[in-house]
Amino acid sequence: MIEKYFADLRDAFEKNADPSIAAGAKTYMRNLSEFYGLPSPLRRQLTKEFIAKSGYPPYEQLDKMVRFAWEQPQREWQYVAMEILEKFNKKADQSILNLVEWMIMNKSWWDSVDFIAPNIAGAVFKKYPEIKMQYIEKWMQSGNIWLQRSCLLHQLRDNKTADRDLLFNLCDRLSAHPDFFIRKAIGWSLRQYSKAFPEAVIDFVNTHKLSNLSHKEALKVINREG
């Protein structure tokens, strides 16, 4: 059913594919995935036209939709699935987090995780705060850098209302992590929060031992604005 549902979108992607852009995208993404070579604005436009004609899949088909998209070799399919799933945030129940967790852990790279964490996981956590810490602790203790990065980034869209204690606690717990993507995420999450609460971030940075990368990224906005 899902394959048939996406047939028209597949045709549109194939007709607009650009091998030269695809080759560049594949190299940029360290050869981790194939690409059609669709610039993001074009991909979103083709998807918008497809949705206008075919509609969104039923809620009960979202799991199959996501897993189908993840089976496809071209990265654009994963982008489509993530953007469609985001449209169901208001309707989603807490069980969707099991699918979100699966998405984060499969075909993992910064481009997918950095969309899923704030735009889907963060939205569901905000909707169901009573189960948030259950997942945060599970992900933090998993040893999986992409789940841990998701913990750090899930509040990016809520810098004015973010849970400060939780943000600082996560950054502190992961501050000695050797991985680039964790250190970068620590700095990014603090930098985003600094846009609303610069003094709090300055105080945290000055009283905690962070990697040079995390420290630099955390203060980037503050330093730029003097």
pTM attached to this predicted model: 0.95
Measured CA to CA, the distance from residue 120 to residue 170 in angstroms comes to: 19
Q: Do 77 and 111 share a domain, yes or no?
A: no
Domain boundary among 88, 113, 140: 88
pLDDT tens column, 128-177? 999 999 999 999 999 999 999 999 999 999 989 999 999 999 999 999 99
Does the pLDDT value for residue 209 go beyond 90? Answer: yes
Phi and psi torsions of 29, nearest 5°:
-95, 20
Cβ neighbors of 165 (< 8 A, separation 6 or more) are: none
Taking alpha carbons only, the member of 107, 19, 62 closest to residue 115 is 107
Angstrom distances, CA of residue 131 to CA of 121, 128, 136, 147:
12, 6, 9, 16
pLDDT tens column, 6-37? 999 999 999 999 999 999 999 999 999 999 99
Specify the CATH number for the domain of residue 34.
1.25.10.90
* Host domain of residue 53: 1-88
pLDDT tens column, 78-108? 999 999 999 999 999 999 999 999 999 999 9
- Contact between 205 and 218 under an 8 Å Cβ cutoff? The reply is yes
Phi and psi torsions of 74, nearest 5°:
-80, 130
Give the total number of structural domains in the chain: 2
